[in-house]
Chain A
Amino acid sequence: MLSRVADSLYWMSRYLERAENTVRQLDVTMGLMLETGGSSLEERWQRLMKALGRPDEMEWNGDLEGLARELVFDSLNPLSVTFAVNGARENARQVREEISSEQWQRLNRLFHQMHSPHAQAQFRTSINDALASIVDGIHLFKGVSDTTMIHGQGWQFIRFGRYLERAYATATLLEIYQPYLLHEHERDHSGYQYLEMVGLLRCCTSFEAYCQVYTADVSPDRILEFLLLNEDFPHAIRYTVDGMRDAVHGIQRTGGRRASDDLIAVIGRLQASLGYTTIGEILAGDPAAFLHKIREECTRIHDLIHRYYVQYSIQSALAS
C-alpha cells in the first residue's frame, strides 16, 4: 500500500478517536458540573482541558454553554470535535479510493451533520442528545469500517491509529485524574466522590463493563486496575497496546516486509510493563510517572511507525 495512503488512514482513524474522546469527556464533565458539591466549576473545566492535553487553551469564563459550543463546533480550534471530524474527513478524502463507499458516506454524513444548522439548533435544545448523536455517527463509521472494508493493510493502519490514540488519551486522562482519586478518597463520604469515580469510568465508556467485573463497588485502585491492566476491555490501556501489536503483525502479514525491530521492541516492552505487574506495585511506586511513561512510549511508537512505513529514506529502500 502507498505510504501516503497508510499515513492518511492512520490519521483519519486517530482524528475520529480523538473526536469521540472529546465528546465523551465533555459530556461527563458537564454532567458533573450539575452537582453543587465537590470541585468548583472552574476547577472541573481546567481538569477537562488538561485531560484533553491542552491545559493552557480555552480559559474558564463562566459561560459553560458557550465554551461547550466552542469545544464542539469551532472548526478553527484544534481542540474541537469539528476540527477532528474535519481532519478525519480530509484524510479520508485523500484516500477516497482505499476506503469503502459505505465508510465514505458515513463519514461524509457525520461531516455534514457537524456543519448543519440543525446540529447547532439541537445543541441549544439538548446538549446531551447532540453529543450522543455525534458519538452515534462515529460508532456507525467504526462498525461500517469493520464490516465493509477488506481487512488488509489499510484496515490494520486504521486499527493502529485508533489504539494508539486511545492509549495516549486514556493515559493522559488517568494521569490527570489520579491525584483526585487517590488523595481525596478517604476524606470524602458525601457521595460526590462516587460521582467523580463513575464519571471517570464513563469517560472511557467503561462503567457497565467495570460493574460486570467488580460489581458496582467502585474504588480508586480498582478503577485504575481496570482501565490500566484489563486484558479484555477495549478501552483499557493494556488491551489497546495488545491491539497495536496485533496490528503491526497484521501489517507485516499482509505486506510482506518484516516489521521494524525497534517498533516490535518498544511495543513489547510496553506490553510487558502492563502484563507483568499488579496495581499494588504501581500504586506503591509512582503512578503519575508510570502513566507519563506510557504516554512517552506512545509518542515513540508513533515516530517509529512514521519513519519505518511512511518517511523512510530512498537509499535504504533501494539497497534492500
Chain B
Amino acid sequence: MSAGPTVELETLFGDYPLDKAFDEMRESTGEVRPHYRALAEALAKLPQEELQRRKQSADLSFLTQGITFTVYGRDEGTERIFPYDLLPRLVTAAEWDRIERGLTQRITALNQFLKDVYSDAKILSDKVVPRDLVYSCKHYRRQMRGLQVPRNVYIAVVGSDLLRVGEGEYVVLEDNLRVPSGVSYMLTNRRVMKRTFPQLFHSYGVRPIEHYPQLLLATLRSLAPEGRPEPNIVLLTPGVFNSAYFEHTYLARQMGIDLVEGRDLVTHDNVVYMRTTDGLKRVDVIYRRVDDDFSDPLIFRSDSALGCAGLFNAYRAGNVTVTNAFGTGLADDKAVYAYVPKIIRYYLNEDPILPNVETYLLGEEKERQHVLANLEKLVVKAVGESGGYGMLIGPKSTARQREEFARQIEANPRNYIAQPTLDFSRAPCLIGNHLEPRHVDLRPYVLFGDKVNIVPGGLTRVALEKGSLVVNSSQGGGSKDTWVLEN
C-alpha cells in the first residue's frame, strides 16, 4: 500500500468525536496517547476485510464455545453470546499500581467493617456510621451476629466497579460483595484476543490473568474448616436457568471441582453432604453463587427451592465454609457506600487511595430537597439493587419517570441515593468498519483468603449503544479484553 499509516488513521477515526469525557485513546488535542499508538498503527495497517474476518472468527469462537448468558423473560433464544468489542482496553502499569493498592485497602477495610458490625459494632457506637442506616439495610442478616467465620474473611470474592472521570482519575462506583459475576468473560475474552491479535499482544507485554481459577481455588482452600486438610470444595449454582450459569460451569471446570445445585445437597447432624453415585460425600467449602435469600429455606426465604435446608446451621456449627459469607450485602448497600471513605479512615487510619463518587443520601432532609429539585441532572439508584435495575438517569428521563421516582423517594427515602451524572471515560470500539468511542467501566476481581490477590486486569464493560451510559449486560452492554501492561 502506498498511503502512509497516518492517512489511514484518519479514515479509521472518521467518526470519532471528542467531548468533555476522558478518552482512553486520545488526548484532548486529538493526539493518540503513547500507550495506544502501537494499537492504532496496527489497526491502520490491517486491511478492512482482514479486520472483519478476525471479527467473524472471534464471533464464531464465542458461539461454538457456548459462551453465552441468559436473558430473562424470553422463551425462544434465551441464550445470547455476550457482546464484546474486538479492541483491547489498555491500562498502564502506573494506573494499575494505584488500582491494586486502592482496592486492597478498600477490601481490607470493608471486611473489618463486616466483622465489626456482626460482632461488637464499635463503629456504630463511635457514631462513624449511623446505627439506623445499618440496621435498616435490606441485606443486614441478624442471623450472622456473633458468628465466627473462618479467618475472619467475609468477602473472599469481590468485583468492584471502577470508572475514570475528570482527567482520567479512577473512582469506585460500587463494591460488589455478594456474588459478583463476569470473571469468566474476562478469561474467555483473553483467550479469544490472544488468537485474534497474537503479534500485537506479544509486542505489548501484557500481564497474565489466566491463573485466576487457580488463585480462586487456593483462596477457597485456605478458608476450609479446621481439621479438614483435604477439603471437598464445591461451587453452588442456582442452576441452568441462571443468567451466569455459563460462568459457574466454566469456573467449576477450570478449578476441577464439582458444580452442585441445592438439590444435590443434604444435611444431617449439621454436616453437609452431596449425593454421588458412590453414596453421600461430605462437603467442606461452598463457593456460593446463590443469593442469601435463596440459600436455605429454613433460615431465609422459605419458598426457595434453590438452596439446601439446614445449610445455615451447618455453617453456624463450623462444619462447612460458605463464601462469600451471608449478610455481606450490607457493605455494598449504596447508602453505606457513601460512608466507605470514613470506614477506611476508621479502621486503617489511612486516606482512601481510590475516591468515591459523590453521593447524596436521601434520608437527610437537606440533601433530599436538593436532589428532588435537580432530578433531571442526577442519577438515582435504589440502594439494594444491582445489574442496572431500579435506576433513574436524570438527563435521559421523561418528566413522568421523574415524578414517579420523586414519589417513591418521598415514600421511602432510605431506599434511594443520588449521584451526579458522570462523564466517565470512553474507549475506542470497532463499530461497523471504523472506530467510535463508547463509555467503559472496569471491574477488577479481588480474591481474599490468606491475603488479598488481584489478577492484573478485569472485565471492561462497554455501553455499546451510542451515547449510552449503561454498561450492564442485561441492558445492552458488552465487554472488552483489558490489557494491563508490564511497563
Chain A contact residues, CB within 8 Å of chain B: 1-6, 90, 93-94, 96-98, 101, 104-105, 108-109, 112, 153, 157, 251, 255-257, 309-310, 312, 314, 317-318, 320
**Which 3 pairs, one residue from A and one from B, show the smallest C-beta to C-beta distance?**
A96-B249, A97-B253, A97-B252
Q: List 19 A-B residue pairs with CB atoms under 8 Å apart, sorted by A's residue number.
A: A1-B276, A2-B260, A2-B275, A2-B277, A3-B276, A4-B275, A93-B66, A93-B245, A94-B239, A96-B66, A96-B246, A96-B249, A97-B252, A97-B259, A105-B65, A105-B66, A108-B65, A109-B64, A318-B268
Residues of chain B with a CB closer than 8 A to A98's CB: 253
Check B264 against A105 for contact (C-beta < 8 Å): no
A88–chain B nearest beta-carbon distance, Å: 14
Residues of chain B with a CB closer than 8 A to A257's CB: 277-279
A108 and B279 contact, Cβ closer than 8 Å, known pairs A2-B264, A96-B249: no
If over half of B's interface residues share one DSSP class (helix, strand or loop), that class is named, otherwise mixed; here it is mixed
Which of A1, A94, A104, A317 is close to B66, meaning CB atoms less than 8 Å apart? A104
Check B277 against A6 for contact (C-beta < 8 Å): yes
B286–chain A nearest beta-carbon distance, Å: 14
Chain B contact residues, CB within 8 Å of chain A: 63-66, 239-240, 245-246, 249-250, 252-253, 258-261, 263-264, 266, 268, 274-280
A97 and B278 contact, Cβ closer than 8 Å, known pairs A108-B66, A318-B268: no
What CA separation (Å) do A314 and B63 show in the bound complex? 40
Residues of chain B with a CB closer than 8 A to A109's CB: 64
A213–chain B nearest beta-carbon distance, Å: 37
A112–chain B nearest beta-carbon distance, Å: 7
Check A112 against B63 for contact (C-beta < 8 Å): yes
For residue A101, which residue of chain B has the nearest CB?
Answer: B65
For residue B263, which residue of chain A has the nearest CB?
Answer: A4
Residues of chain B with a CB closer than 8 A to A112's CB: 63-64
A135–chain B nearest beta-carbon distance, Å: 20
Residues of chain B with a CB closer than 8 A to A251's CB: 277
B217–chain A nearest beta-carbon distance, Å: 14
Residues of chain A with a CB closer than 8 A to B239's CB: 94
Residues of chain B with a CB closer than 8 A to A256's CB: 278
Residues of chain A with a CB closer than 8 A to B63's CB: 108, 112
Check A3 against B277 for contact (C-beta < 8 Å): yes
A-B contacts at CB below 8 angstroms, number: 74
Residues of chain B with a CB closer than 8 A to A108's CB: 63-66
Check A309 against B277 for contact (C-beta < 8 Å): yes
For residue A3, which residue of chain B has the nearest CB?
Answer: B275
Residues of chain B with a CB closer than 8 A to A6's CB: 277
Check A96 against B277 for contact (C-beta < 8 Å): no
Residues of chain B with a CB closer than 8 A to A101's CB: 65
What CA separation (Å) do A218 and B450 show in the bound complex? 73
Residues of chain B with a CB closer than 8 A to A96's CB: 66, 246, 249-250, 253, 259
Residues of chain A with a CB closer than 8 A to B280's CB: 314, 317-318
Residues of chain B with a CB closer than 8 A to A1's CB: 276-278
Residues of chain A with a CB closer than 8 A to B266's CB: 314
Residues of chain B with a CB closer than 8 A to A93's CB: 66, 240, 245
A320 and B279 contact, Cβ closer than 8 Å, known pairs A4-B264, A97-B259: yes
What CA separation (Å) do A26 and B63 show in the bound complex? 30
What CA separation (Å) do A104 and B249 show in the bound complex? 12
Residues of chain A with a CB closer than 8 A to B279's CB: 257, 312, 317, 320
A315–chain B nearest beta-carbon distance, Å: 10
What CA separation (Å) do A61 and B74 show in the bound complex? 35
What CA separation (Å) do A109 and B246 show in the bound complex? 17
What CA separation (Å) do A199 and B258 show in the bound complex? 45
For residue B251, which residue of chain A has the nearest CB?
Answer: A97
Interface centre among B63, B268, B274, B279 (most CB of A within 10 A): B279
Check B249 against A97 for contact (C-beta < 8 Å): yes
A105 and B64 contact, Cβ closer than 8 Å, known pairs A4-B261, A97-B252: yes
For residue A309, which residue of chain B has the nearest CB?
Answer: B277
For residue A315, which residue of chain B has the nearest CB?
Answer: B268
B264–chain A nearest beta-carbon distance, Å: 5
What CA separation (Å) do A318 and B279 show in the bound complex? 8
What CA separation (Å) do A309 and B278 show in the bound complex? 7
B187–chain A nearest beta-carbon distance, Å: 13
What CA separation (Å) do A157 and B278 show in the bound complex? 13
A318–chain B nearest beta-carbon distance, Å: 6
Residues of chain B with a CB closer than 8 A to A314's CB: 266, 268, 280
Which of B240, B258, B268 is close to A2, meaning CB atoms less than 8 Å apart? B258
What CA separation (Å) do A4 and B277 show in the bound complex? 9
What CA separation (Å) do A1 and B261 show in the bound complex? 13
What CA separation (Å) do A39 and B250 show in the bound complex? 53
For residue B258, which residue of chain A has the nearest CB?
Answer: A2
Residues of chain A with a CB closer than 8 A to B268's CB: 314, 318
